[in-house]
Structure 1
Amino acid sequence: MSSEDVKNATVSEKHGDPTPPNYAEATETLELPNSWKYKRLTFFGYKLPWYASPPVQLVIVSFVCFMCPGMFNALNGMGGGGQLDATANNRANIALYSTFSVIGFSAGTFTNKLGIRTALSFGGFGYCVYVASFLCYNHTQNLGFTTFAGALLGVCAGLLWCAQGAIMMSYPPEQSKGRYISWFWMIFNLGAVIGSLIPLGQNMHNTKAGSVNDGTYVGFLILTLIGAGLSWTLVDAKNVIRDDGSKIIVMKHPSWKSEIMGLWETFFTDAYILALFPMFLASNWFYVYHFTEINAAYFNVRTRALNGVVYYIFQIIGAYVFGFALDYKGVSRTMRAKAAWVALFAVIMIVWGCGYKFQTTYDRAWASDENNLKKDWSDPGYGGPFALYIFYGFTDAAWQTCVYWFMGALTNNGRKLANFAGFYKGIQSAGGAITWALDDRKTEYMTMFAINWGLLAGSLLIALPVILWKVKDTTPLEEDIKFTDETIAEVAAKEVVIAPGANTTDKV
């Protein structure tokens, strides 16, 4: 079997070529299996997608992240995990990102083997334990439990985020990846908005610096438990059918050996991914600066909660703006990639340039002095720091959306994208572990600021060659698989599923 045979096998028998037709035509003529998963309901005259379709599956994954990582973000967005003293939160997050960096780097292997639902459910369980540890800490000051919970969450989150990334980047067709990413990011961050409203409502009249109450942690705990259970409502990837009739390409019964070999082969077949590693590293580096060194250091508890609500609202706005712009049909994908790089670089320089001026107004010594009153939303001059903080949220969403879109534009291979997502979360988490450790060692705020700004700008420059030369208007099959004849024979023997209409395939 030659590579041409594989290519021909992926061409839609119905349409005669791998290019999907328009949605209305496809959904009217598409023949779906006779199962509840593919029944279409009509809502106010509009036919909803079938349950085992990419949009529905993405929404389910989005709500899992809404309730699990969303509550985690709301809790950390308060600064110090909602505690006045950030020690417990720092130690928990050092443990979290340390284990996350190890597990996340190889999470694609485990997710491909265990399956999406198992990975997501196990991931959600870790968020439940993490929240429970801070509820316990409010009463016992048990630093060991919070540190253990952080380490456990690092393992769990590595699998959850790898599964999420694989779905978000491999389920949609090429022309819709930006919108899918933005839909996910908006729903996910809506969880953090609602999660931030909980402490805001409960601390509305608390003008003092302090810790959040038990009710906040209980609310977060209930939502994370629901999110962990929701993951079991997903269908297997092999049952998902796109609106053009194509399926997600999966391998039947992958072995641990084939998955580990696939992970290492990615380094050799797609070595250019190394140039994106600095962007991966930067993508979580700024959270400790945002949450602990601005929000917790400069504002009181009710203002921290308000800041968190609007920070995540602007994340939703940032995801919407960049996600939909990245799928704009009037411009080629290569041009959109270049424009996204320019826009992202401009936003980083403008927002962090304003941040430099703000950072000159206070330092760690001021923040740690109990005689200095933390700023309240009723204080004069609150508007400037508030605007800066919420635009930090905007740039965060813009960064994450662009990174995911860049990876999705490099390949359509679902298995390879699971590995990319694992690399992303692993490197990202290594950066998180380092920056939380720097904060725990009381590194000066201005130093932390400078590292953040330099890493963001520098990583964009390093990634530029990949964006210029590796992103194409469409991903050619030959670039996506690069099979040898021996590997094709192995794949055929292992019964790779190649669905009608698919425009990519998989490899060992």
Structure 2
Amino acid sequence: MFKLPRYNSPMTQVVLVGFVCFLNPGMYNALNGMGGGGQVDHTTGSNANTALYCTFVVFGILGGSIVNLFGVRWTIFGSGFTYALYSGSYIYLNHTGKGSLTIAAGALLGVGAGILWAAQGMIMVSYPGEEEKGKYIAVFWIIFNLGGMLGGILPFAINYHSNQKSLVDGVYIAFVVLECLGAFLSLALCPPARVVRDDGSSVVLVKYTSARKEAIEIVKLFLNPTMLALLPMSFVSNFFYGYHFNCFNSGIFTVRTRGFNNIFYWGAQMVGSYALSFLFDKQEWSKKKRGLVIFTIVAVFFNVIWGGTLKLQLRYTHGPSENGDTDYPGGSIDFLEHSRAAGPIILYLLCGIGDALYQNFAYWIIGALTNDNQKLSRYAGFYKGIQSLGATVAWQLDAKKVTFMHQLIINWALLAFSLVPMFFVVWNLKDHVNDAVPDNEDAVVGKEYTAEVDEKASA
């Protein structure tokens, strides 16, 4: 008989944070996937994303410490409303043509997103036991990307009979409502101090933290050889979104087809994540062997996809604008033009699988380094912060009108470079990490954890 997991079980908490991300970052991804935030002119959207990722760099790195100090509930709750403000700003842009509010909202979203993703990363990779981290990553990624799928259905359905080149207000309003729901859902999360695995062990290892300790630990991240080796991986892990969304999806497809494509782009991520979970948790293989096998799959798959994208990119140089259509042969592609649409749509779908493979592998590597939840919150924040630095550069390439072909070449070159230090980290993975004996006098094991600040923040 099917039995629901306990409220304070790791699985329940990962599912809950998955639905929070379904309604917040998932909706943002869907909107961003339309290209330019659903606007025919990408300039405001690209500048807003640049502002977003500039603040995300800082608050991604600081995010883990902020979560450690103030707890998961209220930090994620406040972060959720920054997503709603960003989506709502496009309504103002639709009616005034002024992008200042959207750019400012993007900067504020970077603050919220940095904190939210640090909390999410800590929950996802520190709550499960060693043998289940792959499964938990897959569960989160599948729920999270349901948000992207739903967000693709909304503009597809609302714009199905519309010939407008930009999204209508109704789409943005729907996004705002869903993102506010996501913010409130975060209040259902259980404080980490109360989360208990099925074997009775607590997920928390340390007694308390302080602003001074967190500041020191952040500095140490940039002196840690493993974290430095993961810098290229982190930098490139979201870099390709600017190309995928603005140069590819928005570059050659009609507005309604972009929404149609995103249903499958994010859906394909669920498939890729689920497939990898079996290898992540294949306990008869050593951690190093699992890492090397998955590394090979990711490296080969991503390079093949970029090869196919290059072949497509050679057929056009620019997307549609207010002055005319794309120069792709035959003009913008509609999904009903089966013979023209099938190949590019399948390639876009495969790009989604590649995204899931790369990012799931990155999280698995981070989770393989330690079981300490506070260390992992900092590692996840570091990953998201450096990831955002890469995204800042990528969105500015588009805002500065760098040619589609040059953007593709930069993406592919950075990916190839990132594989070298990633391989080094995987090669040196150990089968067992021991965080049961913490390295400072403030730490104790398991249920003696009091987490004074976290309890106050979660009361």
TM-score normalised by the shorter chain: which range applies?
over 0.9
CA distance in structure 1 between the partners assigned to 2:321 and 2:307 by the alignment: 22
Query: 2:360 matched to which residue of 1?
Result: 401
Query: 1:245 matched to which residue of 2?
Result: 200
2:415 is paired with a residue whose SS is: helix
Please tell me whether the aligned partners of residues 301 and 354 of structure 2 are also in contact (alpha carbons under 8 angstroms): yes
Moved over 6 A (4+): 365-368
CA distance in structure 1 between the partners assigned to 2:30 and 2:320 by the alignment: 25
Deviation at 1:364, TM superposition (A): 2.4
- 1:355 matched to 2:314? The reply is no
Query: 2:182 matched to which residue of 1?
Result: 227
Query: 1:202 matched to which residue of 2?
Result: 158
Paired amino acid for 1:325: L
- 1:99 matched to 2:55? The reply is yes
1:475 is paired with a residue whose SS is: coil
CA distance in structure 1 between the partners assigned to 2:375 and 2:184 by the alignment: 27
CA distance in structure 2 between the partners assigned to 1:225 and 1:477 by the alignment: 37
Deviation at 1:123, TM superposition (A): 1.2
From 113, 129, 132, the counterpart of 1:173: 129
Paired amino acid for 2:156: L
From 277, 299, 315, the counterpart of 1:323: 277
Segment of structure 1 superposing worse, 359-368 or 165-174:
359-368
Please tell me whether the aligned partners of residues 84 and 176 of structure 2 are also in contact (alpha carbons under 8 angstroms): yes
TM-score relative to the length of structure 1: 0.84
Query: 1:215 matched to which residue of 2?
Result: 170
CA, structure 1 residues 304+497, in 2 after alignment: closer, same or farther (shift >3 Å)? same
- 1:456 matched to 2:415? The reply is yes
Larger of the two Rg values belongs to structure: 1
Aligned length: 444
Deviation at 1:130, TM superposition (A): 0.4
CA distance in structure 2 between the partners assigned to 1:112 and 1:293 by the alignment: 39
- What is the Cα-based RMSD across aligned positions, in Å? 1.8
Deviation at 1:142, TM superposition (A): 2.6
- 1:435 matched to 2:389? The reply is no
2:238 is paired with a residue whose SS is: coil
CA distance in structure 1 between the partners assigned to 2:125 and 2:354 by the alignment: 21
CA distance in structure 2 between the partners assigned to 1:451 and 1:362 by the alignment: 18
Paired amino acid for 1:262: E
CA distance in structure 2 between the partners assigned to 1:228 and 1:250 by the alignment: 28
From 370, 374, 378, the counterpart of 1:411: 370
**1:66-104 deviations in Å (ceiling 9; x for gaps):** 000000001011111011111221111010001101111
Query: 1:498 matched to which residue of 2?
Result: 445
Query: 2:332 matched to which residue of 1?
Result: 374
Deviation at 1:344, TM superposition (A): 0.5
- 1:68 matched to 2:44? The reply is no
CA, structure 1 residues 108+92, in 2 after alignment: closer, same or farther (shift >3 Å)? same
Paired amino acid for 1:51: Y
CA, structure 1 residues 74+364, in 2 after alignment: closer, same or farther (shift >3 Å)? same
- 1:473 matched to 2:428? The reply is no
CA distance in structure 2 between the partners assigned to 1:255 and 1:283 by the alignment: 31
Please tell me whether the aligned partners of residues 237 and 250 of structure 1 are also in contact (alpha carbons under 8 angstroms): no
Deviation at 1:477, TM superposition (A): 4.2
Query: 2:215 matched to which residue of 1?
Result: 260
CA, structure 1 residues 261+290, in 2 after alignment: closer, same or farther (shift >3 Å)? same
Deviation at 1:323, TM superposition (A): 2.2
Deviation at 1:467, TM superposition (A): 0.6
**1:91-133 deviations in Å (ceiling 9; x for gaps):** 1101000110111112111111011112211210110110110
Please tell me whether the aligned partners of residues 132 and 217 of structure 1 are also in contact (alpha carbons under 8 angstroms): yes
Aligned residues with identical type, % of pairs: 42
Paired amino acid for 2:333: K
CA distance in structure 2 between the partners assigned to 1:54 and 1:375 by the alignment: 44
Deviation at 1:271, TM superposition (A): 2.1
Query: 1:135 matched to which residue of 2?
Result: 91
From 311, 314, 321, the counterpart of 2:265: 311
Please tell me whether the aligned partners of residues 87 and 175 of structure 2 are also in contact (alpha carbons under 8 angstroms): yes
Paired amino acid for 1:407: I
Query: 2:452 matched to which residue of 1?
Result: none
Deviation at 1:368, TM superposition (A): 7.5
Please tell me whether the aligned partners of residues 19 and 182 of structure 2 are also in contact (alpha carbons under 8 angstroms): yes
- 1:159 matched to 2:118? The reply is no
Deviation at 1:135, TM superposition (A): 1.8
CA, structure 1 residues 210+249, in 2 after alignment: closer, same or farther (shift >3 Å)? same
Query: 1:53 matched to which residue of 2?
Result: 9
1:46 is paired with a residue whose SS is: coil
Deviation at 1:305, TM superposition (A): 0.8
Query: 1:8 matched to which residue of 2?
Result: none
CA distance in structure 1 between the partners assigned to 2:152 and 2:273 by the alignment: 19
1:451 is paired with a residue whose SS is: helix
- 1:86 matched to 2:45? The reply is no
CA distance in structure 2 between the partners assigned to 1:451 and 1:500 by the alignment: 49
From 291, 311, 333, the counterpart of 2:245: 291
Deviation at 1:289, TM superposition (A): 0.2
Query: 2:455 matched to which residue of 1?
Result: none
1:244 is paired with a residue whose SS is: coil
CA distance in structure 2 between the partners assigned to 1:257 and 1:317 by the alignment: 42
2:340 is paired with a residue whose SS is: coil
Please tell me whether the aligned partners of residues 320 and 332 of structure 2 are also in contact (alpha carbons under 8 angstroms): no
CA distance in structure 2 between the partners assigned to 1:366 and 1:72 by the alignment: 22
Paired amino acid for 2:304: I
Please tell me whether the aligned partners of residues 206 and 445 of structure 2 are also in contact (alpha carbons under 8 angstroms): no
CA distance in structure 2 between the partners assigned to 1:365 and 1:333 by the alignment: 44
**1:247-300 deviations in Å (ceiling 9; x for gaps):** 0225444221111122223444x4211111101011110001000111111111
CA, structure 1 residues 422+134, in 2 after alignment: closer, same or farther (shift >3 Å)? same
Please tell me whether the aligned partners of residues 297 and 367 of structure 1 are also in contact (alpha carbons under 8 angstroms): no
Paired amino acid for 1:205: H
CA distance in structure 2 between the partners assigned to 1:367 and 1:151 by the alignment: 26
Please tell me whether the aligned partners of residues 266 and 416 of structure 1 are also in contact (alpha carbons under 8 angstroms): no
Segment of structure 1 superposing worse, 326-335 or 154-163:
326-335
Please tell me whether the aligned partners of residues 295 and 304 of structure 1 are also in contact (alpha carbons under 8 angstroms): yes
**1:363-412 deviations in Å (ceiling 9; x for gaps):** 12777750553221233321111111110000001111000000101111
Deviation at 1:52, TM superposition (A): 0.6
CA, structure 1 residues 415+434, in 2 after alignment: closer, same or farther (shift >3 Å)? same
Paired amino acid for 1:419: R
